[in-house]
Chain A
Amino acid sequence: MKTHKVEQLVIATVGFFWCFLMWFSTAAFSPSIANHYNLSLAALGLLASSAIWMAPIGRIVAGWAADRFGAPRTFATILAVCGLVSIASAYTTDYDILFIERVIVAIAGVSFVVGIQHVAQWFEPDEIGTAEGLYAGTGNVGAGVGALLLPRIFGLDYQAAFLWLGVIALGIAAWYLLRGEAAKHEKVRATARQSADFRGTVFVWTRYIAIALMLAYAMSFGLEIAMNAWLPGYFTRGFHEAILALGFTSIAGVQIAAGTFAAVQSFTASLFRPFSGFMSDLFQRRGWTPLPMIARTLPYAPRLHWLAISLLLITLSMVAFTVAGLMNSLPLSVMVLVAFGIFVSFGTGGTFALVPLLFPDRPGVAAGFIGGVSTAGGIVYPLVFAHVGNIHMGYLYIALFMFIPFTLFYFWAARYEHHPEDHGIGENWLKPRGETVVEKA
């Protein structure tokens, strides 16, 4: 089959966009579902949290499957299963069954790592940042588009939305199978297939640099999804008087205003992500390595420096967010939030501009570990925010007690000037036989 890497990028991006649309479609219609089934607030919270349940483990399995079976088969299977269950959920009348079906549809969120693996198998090291950024950033917008457009297109008729989302998912699954190619060269494909064994998987999980990248992604994407869930409530409670003063006096009005401020983070974090990949490529091309401690002679060293800068900016913006909140300044908080969303995108884009270069033989396994475990941040951070006495202080506590140690660990793990991907727990006996290293770059 004659194809081009841009076609593969488009297929992966469309598939991922649609998966994200399905992933967050339950949240978009949660008021309708709650109204239809008379759900309590606790049940509504459970429904809202269901989207993240499958992500940590599911992404690990999906990443391994992409290396083992190839991205087209894995992605098509995810699309087909989620599409069929989405269609079934359109005809369900029992809430318990509907809840289980929507948890299964939420598996669509694991597709991220499959597309990352697919793009990594096609693009060259000097353009991987932009390619992965375009894939992930454009696909991520599916969440925002779903929240924005689905209720406006389908109104309260969530069954029709679930039906159409499922039918189109089946169409994209067929397209992926027909036109998708796992890798640019059979040799690359064969290497990934052979490396997806248990020993190789444990090897990746125990590398210090893989753990550091996982923490970096927890600081960026984990924080992004945590803030998606947390910020509407934060603005409603933390700036209630200021929002009332703007003229939003009804409960619905306050929700819209708080949701609007919160959406700024989600939107900028998604749409600036390709820019971060581009910046990673630019650092690489110009050879910029401005930070102390971090390796400077590795083939991808400038990308390590770009990600480190991103982590520092995220930490600083968390501190600034607390300061703006304590000053009780709504405009300043929103301004900081815009910068915060951009810095988060720097972290997400910067991380996955590195992953395929650090683990070229097993990009799926690495993406599954780094992109999967890190999503637990989406659960942990809101718990911390909710258990701090002052609603504005949670960001500062996370910055001081989690992000500074995470960043220091990253600096420590990225200091090796010779194959950082070889350093880890049990490095002498875990190193897979016949391991190839990054000289491919």
Chain B
Amino acid sequence: MHGNDTQVKSHEPWYKYGVAFMFFEMFIAIAVSAYSLYMAFHGLGGFPGKH
């Protein structure tokens, strides 16, 4: 590859916290979607329940 942007260099400290927050958001997305779909497919409504 060419260009400076592709040179591997260490990230600044904030980056690991940003990535950790990103994975936290993904976990929430998966958890809420799974729970919501479980509720719906069992006739119990969507998140957070009731129908």
**A residues at B contact (CB < 8 Å):** 4-6, 125-127, 130-131, 133-134, 137-138, 141, 148, 246-248, 250, 252-253, 256-257, 259-261, 263-264, 267-268, 270-272, 274-275, 278, 284-285, 287, 289, 296-302, 331, 334, 338, 357, 441
- Taking A127-B12, A301-B3 as known contacts, 13 extra A-B pairs with beta carbons closer than 8 A to each other, sorted by chain A number, are A134-B21, A137-B22, A246-B41, A247-B42, A256-B50, A259-B46, A261-B40, A271-B26, A299-B3, A299-B4, A302-B1, A338-B33, A441-B5
Question: What 1/0 flags go to B1-13 for Cβ under 8 Å of A?
Answer: 1111110110110
Q: Which 5 A-B pairs have the closest CB atoms?
A: A247-B43, A260-B46, A299-B3, A287-B1, A271-B29
Evaluate contact between A274 and B5: CB separation under 8 angstroms: no
Q: How far is B8's CA from A297's CA once the two chains are assembled, in angstroms?
A: 16
- Within 8 Å by CB of A252, from B18, B29, B41, B51, lies B51
A261-B40, A298-B3 known; A253 and B26 CB under 8 Å?
Answer: no
Residue in chain A with minimal CB distance to B32: A267
Evaluate contact between A272 and B46: CB separation under 8 angstroms: no
19 A-B residue pairs with CB within 8 Å = A5-B14, A125-B5, A126-B5, A127-B11, A130-B22, A137-B25, A148-B47, A248-B51, A256-B46, A257-B45, A267-B32, A268-B29, A271-B25, A271-B26, A275-B22, A284-B5, A296-B1, A300-B5, A334-B37
A126-B9, A257-B45, A299-B2 known; A246 and B40 CB under 8 Å?
Answer: yes
Evaluate contact between B1 and A289: CB separation under 8 angstroms: yes
Contacts of B2 on A, CB cut-off 8 Å?
A: 297-299
A299-B6, A302-B1 known; A263 and B46 CB under 8 Å?
Answer: yes
Residue in chain A with minimal CB distance to B39: A260
Evaluate contact between B37 and A264: CB separation under 8 angstroms: yes
A263-B36, A299-B5 known; A6 and B51 CB under 8 Å?
Answer: no
Instruction: Tell me how far the C-beta of A353 lies from the nearest C-beta in chain B, rounded to whole angstroms.
Output: 11
Evaluate contact between A285 and B51: CB separation under 8 angstroms: no
Using a Cβ cutoff of 8 Å, how many contacts connect chains A and B? Answer: 112
Contacts of B37 on A, CB cut-off 8 Å?
A: 260-261, 264, 334
Contacts of B12 on A, CB cut-off 8 Å?
A: 127
- Within 8 Å by CB of B45, from A253, A263, A270, lies A253
Contacts of B8 on A, CB cut-off 8 Å?
A: 285
**B residues at A contact (CB < 8 Å):** 1-6, 8-9, 11-12, 14-15, 18-19, 21-22, 25-26, 28-29, 32-33, 36-37, 39-43, 45-47, 50-51
Residue in chain B with minimal CB distance to A338: B33
Q: How far is B15's CA from A395's CA once the two chains are assembled, in angstroms?
A: 38
Evaluate contact between A134 and B26: CB separation under 8 angstroms: no
Residue in chain A with minimal CB distance to B41: A246
Q: How far is B14's CA from A331's CA once the two chains are assembled, in angstroms?
A: 40
A264-B37, A302-B1, A441-B5 known; A278 and B47 CB under 8 Å?
Answer: no
Contacts of B11 on A, CB cut-off 8 Å?
A: 126-127
Which of B22, B39, B43, B50: most chain A Cβ within 10 A?
B22
Evaluate contact between B41 and A274: CB separation under 8 angstroms: no
Evaluate contact between A256 and B28: CB separation under 8 angstroms: no
Q: How far is B8's CA from A302's CA once the two chains are assembled, in angstroms?
A: 13
Contacts of B26 on A, CB cut-off 8 Å?
A: 271-272, 274-275
- Within 8 Å by CB of B43, from A248, A264, A302, A331, lies A248
Evaluate contact between A268 and B1: CB separation under 8 angstroms: no
Evaluate contact between B33 and A441: CB separation under 8 angstroms: no
Evaluate contact between B1 and A271: CB separation under 8 angstroms: no
Contacts of B41 on A, CB cut-off 8 Å?
A: 246, 331
Evaluate contact between A256 and B45: CB separation under 8 angstroms: yes
Evaluate contact between A441 and B22: CB separation under 8 angstroms: no
Contacts of B1 on A, CB cut-off 8 Å?
A: 287, 289, 296-297, 301-302
A6-B14, A272-B29, A331-B41 known; A257 and B22 CB under 8 Å?
Answer: no
Contacts of B29 on A, CB cut-off 8 Å?
A: 267-268, 270-272
Q: How far is B15's CA from A223's CA once the two chains are assembled, in angstroms?
A: 30
A252-B51, A338-B33 known; A441 and B45 CB under 8 Å?
Answer: no
Q: How far is B31's CA from A271's CA once the two chains are assembled, in angstroms?
A: 12
